[in-house]
């Protein structure tokens, strides 16, 4: 896929992640998130309500992911990233609360299931959040060629596009060549960690 197609997929993914839904059978609304210290356009009481409900789901998620890792270890299974993204996305859809990891997971599942996309990564960066804590930021990279290490930013190629639904609107979709500058604007100082899940050139989950 070329840059135009990758950009179109990234824009469709942001629309999908951000579209209003009736989470838990309630009124339709956008997913509630903490973004750069802001409460996602809701009051603090509403934010805490969804955050606390999400926390219980995250406990279940943690147990599920640990079970996945045990399965992976016992069966030499390389699909742990796929299972993690599936569970994280389901928790976000159930709770209606999702920061960068949940929004990246929703986008990953959309690209896999709805668009049959190829060469898609759930990427991770280390940074210090607004509360002074070490944190990990998750986003999507569409178009990284096979054979190029996910942490090799210079090797991502001219056609790769960053898709970061959690970020402010002007930083959600951009050419991968702008990544160092744009991600610094999003997070401040950061370091690239690499990919935690990937759809390969055949559209299959590589890990």
* 33 domain-assigned: yes
Please report whether residue 207 resides in a domain: no
pTM, to two decimals = 0.83
Q: Above 90 in pLDDT, residue 70?
A: no
Total number of residues shown for the chain: 207
Does residue 146 form part of some domain?
yes
**In a domain? residue 129:** yes
- Number of domains, the chain: 1
122 vs 1, higher pLDDT: 122
Query: Does 53 fall in a domain?
Result: yes
Give me the pLDDT at residue 72, please. Answer: 47
Domain membership of residue 85 (yes or no) is: yes
Closest alpha carbon to 15 in 103, 88, 137: 103
Q: Which domain covers residue 42, as residue numbers?
A: 3-199
* Residue whose C-alpha is closest to residue 169's, from 82, 41, 50: 41
In which band, very low, low, confident or very high, does the pLDDT at 207 lie, cut at 50, 70 and 90? confident
Residue 204 lies in a domain: no
Residue 206 maps to a domain = no
Q: Tokens representing 190? A: 């950061």
Give residue-wise pLDDT tens across range 12-21.
999 999 999 9
What pLDDT, on a 0 to 100 scale, did the predictor assign at position 39?
A: 46
């Amino acid at each position: 896929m070329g840059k135009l197609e990758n950009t179109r997929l990234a824009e469709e993914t942001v629309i999908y992640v951000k579209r209003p839904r009736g989470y838990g059978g309630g009124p339709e609304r956008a997913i509630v998130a903490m973004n750069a210290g802001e409460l996602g356009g809701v009051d603090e009481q509403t934010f805490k309500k969804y955050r606390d409900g999400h926390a219980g789901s995250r406990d279940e998620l943690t147990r599920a992911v640990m079970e996945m890792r045990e399965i992976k270890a016992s069966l030499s299974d390389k699909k742990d990233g796929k299972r993690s993204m599936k569970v994280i996305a389901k928790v976000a859809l159930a709770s209606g609360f999702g920061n960068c990891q949940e929004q990246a997971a929703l986008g990953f599942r959309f690209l896999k299931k709805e668009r049959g996309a190829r060469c898609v990564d759930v990427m991770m960066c280390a940074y210090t959040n607004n509360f002074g804590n070490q944190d990990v930021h998750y986003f999507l990279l569409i178009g990284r060629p096979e054979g190029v290490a996910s942490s090799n930013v210079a090797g991502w190629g001219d056609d790769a596009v960053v898709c970061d639904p959690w970020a402010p609107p002007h930083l959600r979709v951009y050419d991968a060549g702008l990544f160092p500058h744009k991600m610094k604007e999003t997070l401040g100082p950061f370091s690239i960690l690499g990919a935690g899940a990937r759809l390969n050139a055949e559209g299959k989950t590589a890990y």
